[in-house]
Structures are given as structure tokens and as C-alpha cells.
Structure 1
Amino acid sequence: ALQDKSKHVPFRNSKLTQLLADSLGGNSKTFMFVNINPSAEAASESLCSLNFAVRVQKVQLGKTVATTKRMEGASIQELKAAKTGEERAVNELAQAKTRLQELERETSLGREAHSQLEAELERERQENAQFKETEEFLRQQSEERMRLEQADEHKRLVQVESMLGEATSKLQAVERQLHAKEGELQAALTNLTNLTVGGGGSGLLEPQRASGEAEKLRALEHLRQSAGVRLHARMGTTPAQTPTRGEGHPAVPVGPPPAASPTSVAPAATPAPFGAAPTGVTPSPSGGGGGPLG
């Protein structure tokens, strides 16, 4: 076919041309590699292969219409695909820009929300700090008030104890005075009894004087009882039963003394309370004569 310059290439005449049919026509570029043997025994075969390669080198493969159309169609399809890809890329880029704008807007909103949350958190921190300060101030005020109340209570307690001690001392002093007065009155009463009963007609006391001595004795007893009641009222206790007239003290005659007979005998001595002198004993000069008591 090469020698005759025929347009038809008999690819079927050789196994090699059948295998290379797709590469021997159209716009394809064909490369042929020739293998030769350098030994002298294969010199004829090597020469034949080289001659074949020289002839193949001179072959010019022209472009076919079908191949050109096929290539043009492929190019158009590629262009359409490229255009479609470009449009798709443009759309994707626009979508990406839109999505980016949305993300930027969401990011801006998120930043604003974060700023608001930070401001609210800071406000809550300040309120919490103020609350703690107020709570600490109130606690200190409460502790100070409790301390002052305890101090006032302790002061009042000390004052009450001091007043109670003073009242107790005064009561003891009054009781000592009362005991002394009771002793004097008992001595005076004994003297009065001696003078009334055993002293004869020359030593009788007037009824008015005897009545005055009895009134003094009752007033002294009332004073002692009043002082005991006041002390127990301050101490918050119940006063003990005070011996009434007739229990611890002898009856004091108020009316005129009875007439004594010359043969009358002095009565037996009556137990005297509070350490007074027994009946029948001569009274001291301070109580002699039944005069008024200090």
C-alpha cells in the first residue's frame, strides 16, 4: 500500500497492523521501535528491519474527516462541559459568597449576643458583690447590736446584782437594828411586866405608857416584815412565814394593868425571842423605867 500509494491501508494483512490499526490513522502520532541484533549471524535480519523502519518513517498519515469531526465534537463537548463547569463554579461561588455573608451576619449576631451576655454577667457580678457587701454590713451590724445588747444586759445584771447586794446589806443592817430594837423592847416589856405584876402599888405604870410601848413593838414588827417583803420582791422569791403575834412574841397588855394583891407571886419566865432577856431579870439602865426607845 505504501509502494502503490494506495489510500487503503490493508491492516488485515499483518498481525502488527491489526494491533496498530487505531494508531496508524487520523491525527495520531506513531512511534516505531526497531530492535536489531548486533551479532554477525543476525546481520541480514537486522538489515531488513532497518530498511523497514526507513520506509515506515517516510509514511505520512493524513487526517480523516471522521476523525476531524470526532475531534471537533469532542472539543465542543469539552467546551460545553467546561462552560457548564464554569457556570456551576460561578453558582457555587455565589452560593459560597451568600453563605459567607450569612455566616458573617450570624457571627455578628453571635458577637452582639456574647457582648450582651458579658454585660449581663458583669452586672450580675456587681450585684452579687453589692449583695455580699450588704450582707457583710448587716452581719456586722447584727453582731454589733448583739454585742451592745449583751453589754447592756451584762451592765443591767451587774447593776441589779449591785442593787441586790446593797439591798441585802441594808436588810441585814435593818435586821440587826430590828434585833437590837427587839432586844430593847423585850427588856422594856419585861420591865413593864415586873413593874405591873410584881412591883407593888408604888411601881405601877400608867395605862397610856403601857399602850405606847405596845404600839412601838407592833410598829417595829411591821417595819421588819415590810423590809423582808421588799427584799424578796427584788429577789423574786417568796418570803417565809413571819411569826405572828402570839407565836414568837408575848402578848402586850394595852388596857390598864390588873390590881395586884400583896400575896401575889410573879409569873414564870416566858421564853423571849431574838435573844431578849428572860422575864424576871432586872432590865438594863437603858430600858429602866419603860421610857421611849431611840
Structure 2
Amino acid sequence: MQLNQHVHMLGDDLKSRYGERIHKLTLHGAFTCPNRDGTLGRGGCTFCNVASFADEQAQILPIRDQLLARAGEANRAKRYLAYFQAYTSTYAEVGFLRQMYEEALQAADIVGLCVGTRPDCVPDAVLDLLAGYQQQGFEIWLELGLQSANDATLKRINRGHDYRAYENAVIRARARQLKVCTHLIVGLPGEVAMDSLATLQQVVRTGTDGIKLHPLHVVEGSILGKAWHAGRLEVPTLEEYVEAAVAMIRHTPAEVVYHRVSASALKPTLLAPEWCENRWSAMVAIGEALALSGGQGSALS
């Protein structure tokens, strides 16, 4: 696949620094979200699968057991990043977070943490905790779910925060030399796919160390899922997504690391678009398009 030749991807970045493949092990820390528990709201973001939450909570294993299970699946790597992915993985008291994170860091072959969260859920005490691990030599990534820099879009998808909250979190994190990865969704309601280029440019101006791109994909159990069933929602085509992703990558400085350029989901959870069921379709198409148009950062020169 041509993608790695044209995009600064996390896998290659880690391999160049550690001398071997580093694999992410996805963990569930039993965290909730202020947009679910009533602090900000109870419906969650419109793209989120609220219906699965209770079932997931009932099935969560201890962190050590999760790591053992995930490492057994990662047969091409011997060292790992512990990735707290589900929901808001900083939304708890610092003492609880310390216990959870250190249980992961103390496991064999773990080189660091990736912590997925919301921009409005990273108080200074949490940033200080993560910065302390980085000072001990661990690889630390703070992954902030922004999705769009357009405040009208953030309100439309019931995100519960504005761009200023994201900007504030990034400034405080990077002041502590913490690396920030920004999650963006292409094709959100009320936006055309290329609106995400404006978001990307604003994020770059604010400052970020990594980007994770997702196409909007509609899942069963979400508010958007209800709109899709009612015929009131359009989703990006593969061609629209590839066009937007290529433009965004070409406008991204070469030093920014892409953690992902697409995402997938499986039926019956996935409702639309159907092309998101194939995890490789967008990645291959993006690589081919970049080979023709120029790779990451080429639109900046």
C-alpha cells in the first residue's frame, strides 16, 4: 500500500524511534462521559452508540486481563502502547486515574499511554499526572475528540463544548510538552466533506502533534442512526471522503503524525455508509490519490 510513502504515520514514527513495531492495545477503563451522566446531558453526542453503554460496562475486565488478551491478538509486535479509548478516559478523580494508568504502565512491554478524552475534561491535575509519566520516559499521547472546529456543528451534534475549550486544553497540554492528537470527523451533519479542510487548518494554527481522521459512519443505537432510518441523513461517499482526506493531508505540516486516516465498523452495528465496512477501501484510495497529487504538506510549499 502506498499510504506510508506519502503520509507521516504513527506506526512508522514509533518504529523509527523505538527500532521495532509498537502496537496499540485498546483498553476500556469503565469511564463514562459528562454528556451521558447528566453533567452536560444524557443523550450523548449524536454519533455515539448510547445503547451499547450498559452492556459494555457489564463486560469490562481488569486492565491486566485486557492487556493480556489484546497482546495475544497483536502477534506482529512485542512492545505496546496502552490505549484508553472508550468514552472519556480522564473523567474521574485523579487518584482513580493514577491507579488505572499505572496498572497499565506496570505491565510488561508497555512503552506508554494513549488517553482518549474530551477537551473539557482535562484539568491541570490530570495533565500534570500525564506529564509526570512522560518525564519518567514513557510515551504519552493525549487524544482530544474535537470532530469539528465549527461551533455551530459542535452544537448540532450535541458535543457539549466549543472550539475555545479545545484550544485551551491544547495550550495547557503542550505547555507541559505533552503530545496532542486531535480527532476529526469528515462529513458531519450540516457540513460538506470539504468543510473539514477549514477545521484542519484551524487545528494546525492552534498547534497539534497528531491527527486522527474518521469518516462519519452511522451506527445503530445513535441519534444519527434514528435520523438515517427516517431518511433524514446523508453520509459521505467514498469519493467525497477521499477528496477531503487528501486535501487535509496535503495541508498538514510534515512533522504532524497521522494516527489514522480512516475508520471502519461492522454490520449490523454499522448502518451507513456501506464502504466503511471495508477498512482498507479508503486507505488504498487515499494512498493512490496522494501518489498523484503530492503527499503530506505538499500544498503548503
> Is the TM value for this pair above 0.5?
no
More helix as a share of residues: 1
Length-normalised TM-score, structure 2: 0.16
Considering Cα pairs closer than 8 Å and 6+ residues apart, tell me whether 1 or 2 has the greater RCO. 2
> Which structure would you say has the larger Rg?
1
Higher share in strand: 2
Report the TM-score, using the length of structure 1 for normalisation. Answer: 0.16
